Structure 1
Amino acid sequence: MADFLLADPTTFATHSAKKVGELIGVSETMIIRLCHSLGYHSFKTLQTEIRESIFDFSNQHPLFAGEDQVKQSTFYHAMTANSDFIREAATHIDDEAINLTLEKLHQARWVLVSGSHAAFSMAHWFAFSLNLIKGNTLLFRSEFDSNLEQLSDHSALFVFSFYRYAKESLWVAEAAKNQGAYVIAVTDSPNAPINPFADSILDLKLPNKIIYKTAPIVFSFLNALLMSYSQKFADPNVLREKLYKEKANQFYAF
């Protein structure tokens, strides 16, 4: 149980003691005993500390160290820290899951991309980029949910769901699943609430839930996914033509 806590603190931060026990396969009493053995009076006390540590900026990054500890600029440390986070996350990527994702994206007649809150910018960028390479890729917007009606067993949903797991993403995933679409979930935990609705789970095993740490990892992952898709399936001539037209449209926008 202690190993599970270290590997996936998000589960302890977001679920009740009873639910955590169900996910691990032990009783709620065992979870409470774990808390006591770690020196906590209750599960709530442990959960509160985990939640605070997840969002604690003060000791996570050289940006917040004293001047005597930071010899280079804070900008330098921010960039090098990003590369460290990305390198660490890359060691956990499941190649088999990536290859399956690429195949399903290629086979899909339509791809709908969805993300809420901070993940919306990730969804927007990925939908735009995949549409240039593959075509027939749409961004889900809650105010215009008619795109859901286009999903079928020949479609795929590519959905982002990270800590604080937005209910909208869960609803979209469930709706897509009910319509027969193949659901690909990009998430940060093996026990994320969206996982039961996903056919393929891309668990990035993000080291922290702080957005300045997670965003560079996710965008780097998406960029690598797009590069892999392009190398495997895209016609270079068609891609160049699409990029040229996109630039032309931007130039003559006014």
Structure 2
Amino acid sequence: MPYRERTEQHYDSLTLGLKKVGEALLANPILFATRSAKQIAEVLGVSETMIVRFSKAIGFDGFGELQKDIQQTLLAGPVVTDENPGDHENPFGQVMSSDVRNIQKAAAEMDAAVAGRFVDILAESETVQVVGYYQSFPFAHWFAFLLNTLTGTASLYRPETDIGIIKQGSDHCVVIFSYYRYAMGTIRLAEEARNNGNLVLVITDSSHSPVVRYADHTLVLPGAERSVLEKGPVTFSVMNTLLLHIAKTLGKLDFINPANQYYVK
């Protein structure tokens, strides 16, 4: 039985202290997947022993086994359930309906003030370099392309040819997409940008993502336990709203449907 179901099954029988650990696990599994028991205890303000006790209380041999289960769950693909029995004839629609629910959750929980700062900085920066490794690269590529179409200041960081973040000063911005399992190259570039005095904007899946420490502003997308496939639609929706607000700020809403470069005018 996966960690989430075990936690929910045993929750009522846990002590108050162990319930605190369980609530933290359900809210932010990435914290438990990426940190040691000692580090998690420091974040939660409990003892390391309590983290181990919690692991055993929900049926694991120890914290190591619990952490392995969390990591495997985070790497797994989306699960198609039979929440709506009437949709048996359309399993593709079931997955798309799940995407809609994830986007609605992100919309309800998005920090509008932080999103507003993203828009202002991206609209005003002299240059914007967009970074994403591995599964985050498609997000970075798409965002850099459309942002540059809109502002003329954005470029995609290409690890196969670029040698690092070289521009100096806060007139230059670096946007970083970083999702579990958090590429080391992304973290290194975030640190470089921070040391160069650049404004660092991070889009990630957890407030405990290792790249957050280098960010000036961070948009944390809800659903840290979601798979990469499930995070994709949410990420694209967030990028859409940022780009549309940048277009509005710059008075360039016409960029949404440009006619001069296409056969159909």
Relative to the length of structure 2, the TM-score reads 0.83
- In the superposition, relative to structure 1, how do residues 34 and 178 fare at CA in structure 2: closer, same or farther (>3 Å)? same
Which secondary structure state, in structure 2, belongs to the residue aligned with residue 150 of structure 1? coil
% identical aligned pairs: 31
Equivalent-residue separation in structure 1 for 2:205 and 2:242 (angstroms) = 17
Q: Contact 2:25–2:32 (CA<8 Å) still a contact in 1?
A: yes
1:153 corresponds to which residue?
Answer: 170
> How many residues align structurally?
243
Shift of 1:13: 1.4
2:97 corresponds to which residue?
Answer: 80
**Structure 2 residue 145 is matched with structure 1 residue 128:** yes
For residue 194 of structure 1, the aligned residue among 194, 211, 232 is: 211
What does the per-residue CA deviation read over 1:12-58, in whole Å, with 9 as the maximum and x for residues that have no partner? Answer: 11222122122223332221122233232210121122223334448
1:172 corresponds to which residue?
Answer: 189
Which secondary structure state, in structure 1, belongs to the residue aligned with residue 152 of structure 2? coil
For structure 2, which runs of at least 5 residues remain unmatched after alignment? 1-20
Q: What CA RMSD, in Å, does the superposition of the two structures yield over aligned residues? A: 2.4
- In the superposition, relative to structure 1, how do residues 222 and 236 fare at CA in structure 2: closer, same or farther (>3 Å)? closer
Which secondary structure state, in structure 2, belongs to the residue aligned with residue 184 of structure 1? strand
**Structure 2 residue 239 is matched with structure 1 residue 222:** yes
Equivalent-residue separation in structure 2 for 1:28 and 1:244 (angstroms) = 61
AA aligned opposite 2:202: A
1:61 corresponds to which residue?
Answer: 80
For structure 1, which runs of at least 5 residues remain unmatched after alignment? none
For residue 251 of structure 2, the aligned residue among 221, 230, 234 is: 234
AA aligned opposite 1:54: L
Q: Contact 1:151–1:180 (CA<8 Å) still a contact in 2?
A: yes
**Structure 2 residue 65 is matched with structure 1 residue 45:** yes
For residue 55 of structure 2, the aligned residue among 35, 40, 52 is: 35
AA aligned opposite 1:7: A
What does the per-residue CA deviation read over 1:220-254, in whole Å, with 9 as the maximum and x for residues that have no partner? Answer: 111111111111223346x47x9456x36xx7xxx
Q: Contact 1:134–1:234 (CA<8 Å) still a contact in 2?
A: no
2:223 corresponds to which residue?
Answer: 206
Q: Contact 2:56–2:62 (CA<8 Å) still a contact in 1?
A: yes
Q: Contact 1:12–1:20 (CA<8 Å) still a contact in 2?
A: yes
Relative to the length of structure 1, the TM-score reads 0.87
- In the superposition, relative to structure 1, how do residues 80 and 171 fare at CA in structure 2: closer, same or farther (>3 Å)? same
Q: Contact 1:161–1:188 (CA<8 Å) still a contact in 2?
A: yes
Q: Contact 2:30–2:224 (CA<8 Å) still a contact in 1?
A: no
For residue 34 of structure 2, the aligned residue among 14, 21, 29 is: 14
Equivalent-residue separation in structure 2 for 1:145 and 1:19 (angstroms) = 34
Shift of 1:186: 0.3
User: Which stretch of the first structure deviates more once superposed, 189-198 or 140-149?
Assistant: 140-149
